[in-house]
Amino acid sequence: MKKTILAAALLASAFTAGAAGAADWKPAKPVEFVVTSGAGGGTDNFARTIQAIVTKHKLVAQPIVVVNKGGGNGAEGYVYSASAAGDPYKLTFGTNNQYLLPYVAKLGYKASDFAPVATMALDEFLIWVNGESPLKDTKAYVEAAKKPDGLRMGGSQSKDTDQTLVSLISQATGAKFTYIPFKSGGEAAVQLAGAHIDSNVNNPNENIGQWKAGMVRPLCVFSPARMEAGPKVAQGMGWSDIPTCKETGIAIDSYRMPRTVWLPAGAPPDAVAFYADLLKKVSATPEWKEYIERTSQSDAFMAGEDMIKFVKQDETRAVEVFKAEKWIVQ
Amino acid sequence: MDNVANLMHGFSIALTAYHVGLMMAGVMLGILVGVLPGLGAPNGVSLLLPLTFTMDPVSAIILLTSMYWGALFGGSTTSILFNIPGEPSSVATTFDGYPMAKNGRAAHALTLAFLSAATGALFGVLVITLLSGWVAKFALKFSSPEFFAVYLLTFASFIGMGHSSPFKTVVSMMLGFAFAAIGMDTISGSLRLTFDMIELVKGISFLVAVIGLFGLGELLLTMEEGLRFDGIRARISPREVFQTVRELPRYWLTLLRSGLIGCWMGITPGGPTAASFMSYGIAKRFARRKDGYGKGEPAGVVAPETADHAAGTSAILPMLALGIPGSATAAVMMGGLMIWGMTPGPMLFIERPDFVWGLIASMYLGNVVAVVLVLATVPLFAAILRIPFSIIGPVIVVVCFIGAYTVDGSVFDMGLVLAFGLAGYVFKKLDYPIAPLVLAMVLGDKAEDAFRQSMIMSKGTLGIFWSNPLVGTIMTLALLLLLWPLASALVQRLGGAGSASSSVQAG
Amino acid sequence: MPMFPGRLPAGFVITRFAMEVATALVTAGIGAVVALGSLEYGTGWDDAGPQAGYFPFYIGLFIVLASLGTLTQAVLHQRGRQRGSREVFLNAEQAGRVLAFGLPMVAFVVATVLLGLYVATALYLFGVMVVQGKYRAWQAAAVGGGTAVFFFVLFEIWFQVPILKGPLEAWLGLH
């Protein structure tokens, strides 16, 4: 039931997006960017970058107001937007937590309360160890994690993307981890630099500062192919020198976090099309490329059908983990 | 010395007419957002951030940090004049600052607060300048057990200092912990104590509680007494400022101790809030005359203000060197750094020395500019107090509610403020101490997270809190402080002193 | 100011004892709710340390126990007093003053929800100034309207912090 409504909404919006490229809908008052993270978080940077680009290139005539609602791992923002069903002025920014959060906690909104607008980028996950760690490659790492004590793995939040990935790694390799949840990836980065934990699975942007100083070191990346070549970061290594985890023997093809944009369900299809078109324009600007490069994410604009397909795949895999770990509520 | 040479280079960057102009603009804006409870430094920084995209990074960070100094000073102003702390870290300033203002010494309290704040800030920058290399390494030593020990130390230094019934202190503190527990639990990832109300998903904001408990509660009390703010007359003359400057050295011990506490908490980073509470607690505990505290003791203003600003200032260092933002404002600033193309982290000092040292130099200058400007605004605030109460009273009410609304844009929070206002009024009249509630609300969930993270690390054994000299020392110190009142009472009793005077308050 | 005292009987008094008891009962109630509410998260201690409900449960329990302690203290204190003497929490005059301030405040919050913060601000300031401050209507209107406009410019235009708005703003086309 839930799924069909979602699919219907998606289909409708995708259809109109395709049919009427230049939709008639235009914002008539300031647009609210609802950010489902606190100021300074990854989603906040994502939304503010888009705000800066839209403002600079004057892509929208109306002002943009950014509101941070990051309480309850972002649930606060989703609940806020979901309660304004049909409002085309609440463009909501998030990650895959939009459709995964409702599985692990009772939150007062459903994934189907939103119409997908676009996915803009995919953030990578890597396995990091302390710079002084004797674990030089993935093989040694997995061996160490199979010992009775396992490894201490830090991450951002509980039952969220980081812990899901840790759980997937355990399933794929038989390694044992003690997962320690921190408030943010930044905290997990500092704890790793101080060698208080053995490892983390941070996004590139969360660990780059420490990597530059040689305090942490990447072992492998969970992307289907190696990351784009760029300048060397540290120890003569650049992002493209990091092997994929699959290459090094961890049977996980890819694990990446989408940066997503949504509207409350029931918003006019023309409005969905308008924003999808707007975000498409944003993703073509040099400033956007610069953001992608700086944060070492993968540029991946998806709207309509593509996004629905991606969401479905991502959701299915995560829910399997949730079931195995007994995280699902109700 | 390398650092001094670097600093001189920094001054040559920061000390230009353009940069001083930016500092003044930033500070003025900061004072404005600091004074209004609905707005805070994070709002100001987010407002200015888009402006900075076209600026040189040094100029940009000077503008933003100056605004931050201004906001910190502005926050103290409302704490003293209206008993409404604008930031969590200025709560402790209300304890003696507001009574001073009520006794007709508002100008004195404000001047004292600003001057000790500036002293604290300079203390903080000095520490940054001299110890920048070492400080970052020290901060890396801190993990969850150490954080828990620091929070426990804060509680320990603050507890057991009230005159009220121990039961009431326990009720107040535990209520604070309970409120802090509402919402998302970091460790388990589930929602706690929300009773399926979506308004509670985000938890109860500390600011909402404080605006109600302190701001509205105090207004209700004032009304009941029919006082109408008659007591508050803040007139400021250059002579008064001068007198206060001369008075300041008298508090050298408090200043030094609070500065040290502040720097330590800023670096570790326990944060300015913990620093100001701990500093107030320690000042009171070691004071010769404890009775004046809470009734307008000047040292009770000096201690928290010095520590607050020392911590706020020295916290910039771990932010730059490690990339851990100590506060919401710092988080927005870090976002700015990244947009300007810099990566906070250990390499920043090596890759961009001009930026780092320009910033450090601007912290010296910015604080001087801020203290001068903020002193200049005192007559303005003093004038506000001369507006008849039937106008200013309702305006304060409006400001309180707008403030509560802007915290999260929630109507529910306005109802909460009303409830907290009533609670603040009743608690005050029945001698329930409010400070333990506030402290527990600010540090409660952090302390719980740190404790449970430690337990996951140690697989459930408490030994982890004595697993290395650092955490062991802090932990032992905390327990000693916690047991101090008990022990001293015991000694008194054994010594045959009149048992009636033994006061084991709120253990 | 003299809005309410006349309506309260002159002998009206809330005793401190009554208030102590009421407050202790309320806090005990909150404690009980907290303790019961945390039962569903597990209140034990497993190999990963305390479960999610561990701290809230004992916090709730402590609130209940300490509230009972306060209650006992209040009762003992009351017993120790001479019969007939009462410690007053609030007398008629004070209650009148508190209500005169508190009731318009509650009305303001209600008006906020219905009319938005700006309109409610203007009305509230106007009402309090005219009724309690005995100002002339035009003065009160100027202060009330001026304050509302000032806040509007400050929040909506300058800082772009959206605040609760109502039907008037919608009608005027202000967003």
The alpha carbon of residue B30 is apart from the nearest alpha carbon of chain C, in Å, by 12
Residues A8 and A79 in one domain: yes
pLDDT score, position B237:
66
- In a 3-state reduction of DSSP, which class is residue B16? coil
The reply to whether residue A104 touches residue B324, judged by beta carbons under 8 angstroms, is no
Residues A116 and A261 in one domain: yes
- The answer to whether A39 contacts chain C (CB < 8 Å) is no
Per the CB < 8 A criterion, the answer to whether B455 and B449 are in contact is: no
Q: What is the DSSP letter of B160?
A: S
Distances (CA, A) of B34 to B78, B217, B402, B408, C120: 8, 21, 14, 17, 24
ipTM of the complex: 0.92
- The answer to whether A158 contacts chain B (CB < 8 Å) is yes
Residue B444 located in a structural domain: yes
**Contact residues for B496 (Cβ-Cβ < 8 A; gap 6+):** none
- The answer to whether C162 contacts chain B (CB < 8 Å) is yes
pLDDT score, position A18:
43
Q: Take residue C25 and report the two structure tokens written for it.
A: 């009962």
Cβ under 8 Å to B: A residues 216-255: none
Distance between first and last Cα of chain B: 49
- The answer to whether A65 contacts chain C (CB < 8 Å) is yes
The reply to whether residue B175 touches residue C27, judged by beta carbons under 8 angstroms, is yes
User: Is the pLDDT at B435 greater than 60, yes or no?
Assistant: yes
Residues A306 and A196 in one domain: no
pLDDT score, position C3:
45
Would you call A149 exposed, middle or buried from its count of C-beta atoms within 10 A (0-12, 13-18, 19+)?
A: exposed
User: Is the pLDDT at A60 greater than 50, yes or no?
Assistant: yes
Per the CB < 8 A criterion, the answer to whether B70 and B27 are in contact is: yes
Residue A57 located in a structural domain: yes
Neighboring chain C residues of B170 at a CB cutoff of 8 Å: 62-63, 66, 69
Distances (CA, A) of A189 to A153, A160, B347, C94: 11, 17, 15, 57
Interface test with B, best of A113, A208, A322 (most B CBs within 10 A): A208
Residue A246 located in a structural domain: no
pLDDT score, position B236:
58
Measuring CA to CA, which residue among B434, B425, B421 is closest to residue B216? B421
Cβ under 8 Å to B: C residues 4-23: 16, 19-20, 23
Neighboring chain A residues of B343 at a CB cutoff of 8 Å: 208-209, 212
The 10s digit of each residue's pLDDT in C119-143 is: 999 999 999 999 888 899 999 999 9
- The answer to whether B395 contacts chain C (CB < 8 Å) is yes
The DSSP result for B375-407, as a single string, is HHHHHHHHHHTTS-HHHHHHHHHHHHHHHHHHH
Residue B291 located in a structural domain: yes
> Which has more pLDDT, C79 or A40?
C79
Residues A101 and A84 in one domain: yes
The alpha carbon of residue B377 is apart from the nearest alpha carbon of chain C, in Å, by 19
Of B49, B201, B323, which has the smallest distance from its Cβ to A108's Cβ? B201
The 10s digit of each residue's pLDDT in A128-163 is: 999 999 999 999 999 999 998 899 999 999 999 999
What is the rounded CA–CA span in Å between residue B452 and residue B342?
Answer: 34
The 10s digit of each residue's pLDDT in C96-123 is: 889 999 999 999 999 999 999 999 999 9
Interior angle at CA B265, CA B262 and CA B270, nearest 5: 140
Distances (CA, A) of B348 to A202, B313, B320: 20, 18, 7
Per the CB < 8 A criterion, the answer to whether C17 and C78 are in contact is: yes
Q: How many CB pairs under 8 A join A and B?
A: 151
User: Is the pLDDT at A5 greater than 60, yes or no?
Assistant: no
B85: Cα within 13 Å, side-chain hemisphere: 25
pLDDT, chain B, mean: 84
Distances (CA, A) of B345 to A182, B136, B321: 19, 10, 5
Residue A137 located in a structural domain: yes
User: Is the pLDDT at C49 greater than 80, yes or no?
Assistant: yes
Tokens 């940069």 locate to B19
- The answer to whether A163 contacts chain B (CB < 8 Å) is yes
Cβ under 8 Å to B: C residues 56-75: 56, 59-60, 62-63, 66-67, 69-70, 73
- The answer to whether C90 contacts chain B (CB < 8 Å) is yes
The alpha carbon of residue C109 is apart from the nearest alpha carbon of chain B, in Å, by 7
CA-CA-CA-CA torsion sign (A47, A49, A55, A60): negative
Question: What band does B390 get if pLDDT is binned at 50, 70 and 90?
Answer: confident
The reply to whether residue C106 touches residue B454, judged by beta carbons under 8 angstroms, is no
Residues A219 and A271 in one domain: no
Residues A148 and A189 in one domain: yes
What is the rounded CA–CA span in Å between residue A186 and residue A155?
Answer: 9
> Which has more pLDDT, B270 or A319?
A319
Range of the domain at B324: 2-501
Residue A330 located in a structural domain: no
pLDDT score, position B506:
35
Residues A113 and A132 in one domain: no
pLDDT score, position B221:
87
Q: What is the DSSP letter of B262?
A: H
Residue B288 located in a structural domain: yes
The alpha carbon of residue A83 is apart from the nearest alpha carbon of chain B, in Å, by 10
User: Is the pLDDT at A191 greater than 50, yes or no?
Assistant: yes
**CATH number of the domain that residue A272 is part of:** 3.40.190.150
Closest alpha carbon within chain A to C163? A67
- In a 3-state reduction of DSSP, which class is residue B226? coil
Residue A249 located in a structural domain: no
Question: What band does B230 get if pLDDT is binned at 50, 70 and 90?
Answer: very low
**What is the pairing mode between strands C45-46 and C49-50?**
antiparallel
Neighboring chain C residues of B167 at a CB cutoff of 8 Å: 66-67, 69-70, 73
Partners of residue A177 on adjacent β-strands:
A151
The 10s digit of each residue's pLDDT in C53-98 is: 999 999 999 999 999 999 999 999 888 876 666 788 988 888 988 9
Measuring CA to CA, which residue among C163, B404, B333, B406 is closest to residue A30? C163
Per the CB < 8 A criterion, the answer to whether A199 and A153 are in contact is: yes
Of B43, B192, B390, which has the smallest distance from its Cβ to C41's Cβ? B192
How many C-beta atoms surround the C-beta of residue A289 within 10 A?
A: 12
Residues A29 and A116 in one domain: yes
What is the rounded CA–CA span in Å between residue B339 and residue B356?
Answer: 16
**Contact residues for B239 (Cβ-Cβ < 8 A; gap 6+):** none
**CATH number of the domain that residue A179 is part of:** 3.40.190.10
| Consecutive H or E run containing B183 | strand B183-184
- The answer to whether A69 contacts chain B (CB < 8 Å) is yes
Question: What band does A23 get if pLDDT is binned at 50, 70 and 90?
Answer: low
Interior angle at CA B472, CA B466 and CA B475, nearest 5: 105
Per the CB < 8 A criterion, the answer to whether B345 and A212 are in contact is: yes
pLDDT score, position B332:
72
What is the rounded CA–CA span in Å between residue B374 and residue B57?
Answer: 26
Q: Take residue A30 and report the two structure tokens written for it.
A: 């300031």
pLDDT score, position C31:
97
Q: Domain total for chain A?
A: 2
The 10s digit of each residue's pLDDT in B292-337 is: 888 899 999 999 999 999 998 888 887 777 776 666 677 777 777 7
Q: What is the DSSP letter of C165?
A: B
Secondary structure of chain A in the HEC alphabet? Answer: CHHHHHHHHHHHHHHHHHHCCCCCCCCCCCEEEEECCCCCCHHHHHHHHHHHHHHHCCCCCCCEEEEECCCHHHHHHHHHHHCCCCCCCEEEEECCHHHHHHHHCCCCCCHHHEEEEEEEEEEECEEEEECCCCCCCHHHHHHHHHCCCCEEEEEECCCCHHHHHHHHHHHHHCCCEEEEEECCHHHHHHHHHCCCCCEECCCHHHHHHHHHCCCEEEEEECCCCCCCCCCCCECCECHHHCCECCCCCCCCCCCEEEEEEEEECCCCHHHHHHHHHHHHHHCCCHHHHHHHHHCCCEEEEECHHHHHHHHHHHHHHHHHHHHHHCCCCC
The 10s digit of each residue's pLDDT in B122-176 is: 999 998 888 877 777 787 888 999 999 988 988 888 776 556 688 998 999 999 9
Per the CB < 8 A criterion, the answer to whether B84 and B400 are in contact is: yes
Neighboring chain B residues of A83 at a CB cutoff of 8 Å: 198
The alpha carbon of residue A36 is apart from the nearest alpha carbon of chain C, in Å, by 17
Cβ under 8 Å to B: A residues 87-146: 104-109
Percentage of chain C exceeding pLDDT 70: 92
Q: Which amino acid is at B127?
A: V
Which residue, of A201, A217, A241, is where some domain finishes? Answer: A241
CA-CA-CA-CA torsion sign (B449, B452, B458, B464): positive
Of B331, B346, B449, which has the smallest distance from its Cβ to A209's Cβ? B346
pLDDT score, position A63:
86
Neighboring chain A residues of C161 at a CB cutoff of 8 Å: 65
What is the rounded CA–CA span in Å between residue B20 and residue B365?
Answer: 8
Neighboring chain B residues of A71 at a CB cutoff of 8 Å: 183-184, 201-203, 408
Secondary structure of B119-149 in the HEC alphabet? Answer: HHHHHHHHHHHHHHHHHHHHHHCCCHHHHHH
Q: What is the DSSP letter of C1?
A: -
What is the rounded CA–CA span in Å between residue B411 and residue C113?
Answer: 7
Measuring CA to CA, which residue among B152, B157, B37 is closest to residue B90? B37
Interface test with C, best of B402, B431, B464 (most C CBs within 10 A): B402
Q: Tell me which of A67-81, B54-68, B103-117, B315-329 is least confident.
A: B315-329
Closest alpha carbon within chain B to C93? B224
Interface test with A, best of B144, B192, B201 (most A CBs within 10 A): B201
User: Is the pLDDT at A55 greater than 70, yes or no?
Assistant: yes
pLDDT score, position A13:
47
User: Is the pLDDT at B38 greater than 90, yes or no?
Assistant: no
- In a 3-state reduction of DSSP, which class is residue B231? coil
Residues A133 and A82 in one domain: no
> Which has more pLDDT, A93 or A10?
A93
Residue B119 located in a structural domain: yes
The reply to whether residue B328 touches residue A40, judged by beta carbons under 8 angstroms, is yes
Of A157, A191, A193, which has the smallest distance from its Cβ to B189's Cβ? A157
**Contact residues for B468 (Cβ-Cβ < 8 A; gap 6+):** none
Of B165, B395, B425, which has the smallest distance from its Cβ to C147's Cβ? B395
Interface test with B, best of C17, C19, C45, C55 (most B CBs within 10 A): C55
Q: Domain total for chain B?
A: 1
Give Cα B297 distance to the centre of its chain: 19
Tokens 């993935």 locate to A138
Cβ under 8 Å to B: A residues 169-188: 178-183, 186-187
Q: Take residue B165 and report the two structure tokens written for it.
A: 């019934």
Neighboring chain C residues of A30 at a CB cutoff of 8 Å: 160, 162, 175
Distances (CA, A) of B142 to A194, A209, A321, B120, C152: 8, 18, 33, 23, 45
The reply to whether residue A210 touches residue B341, judged by beta carbons under 8 angstroms, is no
Range of the domain at A131: 126-241
Percentage of chain A exceeding pLDDT 90: 70
Q: What is the DSSP letter of C82?
A: P
Cβ under 8 Å to B: A residues 285-304: 294
What is the rounded CA–CA span in Å between residue C133 and residue C128?
Answer: 7
The alpha carbon of residue B103 is apart from the nearest alpha carbon of chain A, in Å, by 40
The 10s digit of each residue's pLDDT in A216-225 is: 999 999 999 9
Q: Tell me which of A258-272, B194-208, C71-85 is least confident.
A: C71-85
Question: What subunits make at least 3 CB pairs under 8 angstroms with B?
Answer: A, C
Closest alpha carbon within chain B to A208? B343
Residue B507 located in a structural domain: no
**Contact residues for B78 (Cβ-Cβ < 8 A; gap 6+):** B34, B35, B37, B84, B85, B86
